[in-house]
Amino acid sequence: MTVDFTSTRRKDRRDEQPDSTPASMQAELLALQEAASIESARHEFIADFRWPEGVRVAVNFTCDYDAMLLRRVFEEPALQLAKGEFGGRVGALRLVKLFDKHDVKATFFVPGRICELYPASLRAMVASGHELADHMWEHQTPVAHRFQVDHIEKTAEALSRFTGHRPRGTRSFYPNALLRQAGHVYNSHGSASLMPYYTGDADGGHALVELPFHFAIDDAQFFTFGWIGSAPEAQHLSDPERVLELWWDAFMCQYERGGYLNICLHPYVSGRAMRIAMLDELILRIKKLDGVWFPTCETVARYCLDRFPPRKLRT
């Protein structure tokens, strides 16, 4: 999963006294319009997008190999670390086995430090033809420029020791310029469209393909307890059958419109036996339909850049 930690730690706005005079509201509206204009200039959607001949929909399985690093970021108690360990040592390999059974090529977003912790799992992913992509060094994007560069490089080096090449994509909040300079061609943490699109810097440079995902297609939202320090009344453990039907419906919506689906999984969440069984059933159902493509994120990103390069933004 990806979380912009600067925003999640922001002071709760309900604690602040609102200033609702007409002048302040007008100033706030102008600030919002300016922010919307800047964001709009950074985005480019692909109006005439089409998949390759014979493909009706692309499904990216994107697995965030957070393991115990995410537990540490949230300063969770020791027992919670165990679920990260399970994902690192057992869940990840179960997902690889599931994908291999169905000839699905997945993308594993890997924090660099994970390479030190679970090398056997990473070797299995690479041996099966899955993609390893950047997911920060310790699952955090530092603020200082020199640390950002350091973390991008350390993670690229760590991943390349397994793959033989630098990673081509990321799930992170680094500036586009740094990612492009490091050789990345795509990111996958946005939700501004249902289809692949482009993002750039504020001045329109350093375009990256964005492969959007949504928290509604993220296993952690349905199958985790204590999610980001949530209170007991906010716990949410769903039956796999319910999630199967929700995701099947989401898939069919995309199938009917010739769309795109990015299914975000975590080995410590979906690596549990009953959830692997649910995913097995979901993939079996999907595979009964014609025209479904299960590529890696890099393959989709290369396709976008080759066939529909950005027109407004600059790479």
Residues of this chain that bind Zn ion (CB under 5 A): 1, 64, 66
- CA angle 154-6-178, nearest 5°? 35
Min dist CB 131 to Zn ion, Å, is 16
Please state the closest distance from residue 220 (CB atom) to Zn ion, in A. Answer: 9
Between residues 74 and 162, which has the closer beta carbon with respect to Zn ion? Answer: 74
Closer to Zn ion by Cβ: residue 1 or 59: 1
Residue nearest Zn ion, Cβ-based: 64
- Block residue for tokens 């993939």: 283
Q: How far is the CB of 137 from Zn ion (least distance, A)?
A: 12
Query: Shortest approach of Zn ion to residue 135 CB, angstroms?
Result: 6
- Nearest Cα to Cα of residue 223 among 237, 209, 242, 205: 237
Query: CB count, 10 Å around CB of 69?
Result: 22
Residue reference for tokens 């950002």:
148
Quick one: which of 228, 244, 289, 197 has its CA closest to 66? 228
H or E, element range at 105? none
The alpha helices in 237-288, defined as continuous H runs, are: 240-257, 267-270, 273-287
CA distance 15 to 5: 19
- Position of tokens 């033809």? 129
Tell me how far, at minimum, the Cβ of 91 lies from Zn ion, in Å: 14
Nearer to Zn ion, 44 or 66 (CB): 66
Cα 281 from Cα 8, distance rounded (Å): 35
- Give the CA angle between residues 116, 120, 125 to the nearest 5°: 105
| Cβ nearer to Zn ion, comparing 44 with 64 | 64
Nearer to Zn ion (CB atom), residue 213 or residue 255: 213
DSSP 148: H
Burial of 72 by CB count in 10 Å (0-12 exposed, 13-18 middle, 19+ buried)? middle
CB of 115 or CB of 305, closer to Zn ion: 115
Q: Which is nearer to Zn ion, 222 or 303 (CB)?
A: 222
Contact 151, 178 (CB under 8 A): no
Using only C-alpha atoms, the chain has a radius of gyration, in whole angstroms, of 20
- Closer to Zn ion by CB, 229 or 309: give it: 229
User: Taking the complex as a whole, how short is the minimal distance between the CB of residue 98 and Zn ion, in angstroms?
Assistant: 20
Number of helices (H) and strands (E), helices first, in the chain?
A: 14, 12
Backbone angles phi, psi at 60, to 5 degrees: -100, 120
Nearer to Zn ion, 132 or 313 (CB): 132
Smallest gap from Cβ 228 to Zn ion, in A, equals: 11
Closest approach, Cβ 136 to Zn ion, in A, equals 8
User: What is the smallest separation between the CB atom of 268 and Zn ion, expressed in angstroms?
Assistant: 11
